[in-house]
């Protein structure tokens, strides 16, 4: 199963890490540390978006917009002004406020020693890579988020296709990462994963995040948002 860590390693035919380090004047080791330190914030941002149906729809509308895969594959395209603007839009969508983005950058600086200004400039580039990896994994015509958006905006109806758990679009995304699955025998005791649980798996949360660091990121989001906590 591919996680977002795998997608970042594949970005730009494996050259993403080196190009990022060169662009921002840091070592490959520093780039890797920054990447690891930022992922919990991206995880939390997506997780909270997934709890809001309108947030999920807006997120997936961005994925289906078409430009992110070119950033994922082309180092030159990933560093253009348009790419910067697109990535900044994703950062704003995930974090919800400039205050959260600044606080996350400060936390990453404290953890890695990379200045917050550099971290803040890296965020849109990494957001583009994440979105491009998602776009590469899914086809727009079979995309449950885009189908939902067409319905909400009065666009043409999507092509008929079998859908599993349409109320949990991130679960359908996970199935696209895993590829076609065999139909298992139904187990009445099994419950489908929630959108949040799928995001946890995509970010490989249990492996990659220390509890203390994850909690520090959660405190940042809680401080600057008014979203109700999930019981």
In DSSP notation, 130-193 reads HHHHHHHHS-GGG-HHHHHHHHHHT-PPPPP---S-TT-HHHHHHHHHH-S---PPP-TT--PP
Q: What percent of the chain has pLDDT over 70?
A: 52
Q: φ and ψ at 3, to 5 degrees?
A: -110, 175
Confidence band for 230, pLDDT divided at 50, 70 and 90: very low
Residue pair 217/37 in contact (Cβ under 8 Å)? The answer is: no
- Rounded to an integer, the average pLDDT of 57-75 is 71
pLDDT digits (tens, 9 = 90+) for 104-162: 999 999 999 999 999 999 999 888 888 887 777 665 444 444 444 444 434 444 444 44
Alpha helices per DSSP H over the chain: 4-10, 16-24, 28-50, 53-63, 68-73, 81-95, 98-112, 116-137, 144-153, 169-178, 195-202, 205-208, 211-224
Tell me what pLDDT residue 21 has.
Answer: 85
Q: Band of the pLDDT at 19, cuts 50, 70, 90?
A: confident
- What gap in Å lies between CA 90 and CA 74, rounded to an integer? 19
Residue 178 confidence (pLDDT) above 70: no
Between residues 224 and 117, the one the model is more confident about: 117
Q: Residue 159: what pLDDT?
A: 47
Predicted TM-score (pTM) of the model is: 0.68
Q: For position 197, what pLDDT does the model report?
A: 66
- Which pLDDT value is given to residue 119? 96
Neighbours of 109 (CB within 10 A): 18
**What pLDDT sits at residue 201?**
67
- Cα–Cα distance for residue pair 227/199, rounded to 1 Å: 18
More confident residue, 63 or 106: 106
Q: Is the pLDDT of residue 45 over 70?
A: yes
Residue-averaged pLDDT of the chain: 71
Residue 44's pLDDT is: 86
């Amino acid at each position: 199963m591919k996680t977002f860590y795998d997608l970042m390693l594949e970005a730009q035919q494996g050259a993403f890490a080196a190009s990022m380090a060169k662009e921002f004047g840091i070592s490959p080791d520093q780039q890797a540390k920054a990447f690891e330190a930022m992922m919990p914030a991206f995880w939390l941002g997506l997780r909270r978006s997934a709890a809001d149906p309108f947030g999920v729809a807006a997120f997936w509308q961005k994925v289906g917009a078409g430009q992110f895969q070119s950033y994922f594959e082309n180092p030159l395209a990933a560093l253009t002004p348009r790419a910067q603007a697109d990535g900044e839009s994703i950062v704003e969508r995930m974090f919800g406020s400039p205050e959260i983005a600044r606080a996350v950058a400060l936390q990453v600086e404290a953890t890695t020693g990379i200045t917050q200004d550099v971290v803040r400039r890296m965020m849109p580039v990494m957001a583009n890579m994440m979105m491009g990896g998602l776009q590469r994994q899914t086809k727009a015509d079979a995309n449950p988020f885009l189908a939902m958006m067409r319905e909400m905006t009065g666009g043409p109806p999507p092509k008929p296709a079998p859908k599993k758990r349409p109320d949990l679009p991130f679960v359908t995304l996970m199935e696209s990462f895993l590829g076609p699955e065999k139909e298992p025998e139904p187990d009445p005791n099994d419950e489908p994963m929630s959108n949040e649980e799928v995001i946890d798996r995509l970010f490989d949360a249990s492996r990659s995040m220390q509890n203390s660091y994850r909690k520090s990121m959660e405190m940042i989001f809680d401080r600057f948002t008014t979203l109700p906590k999930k019981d």
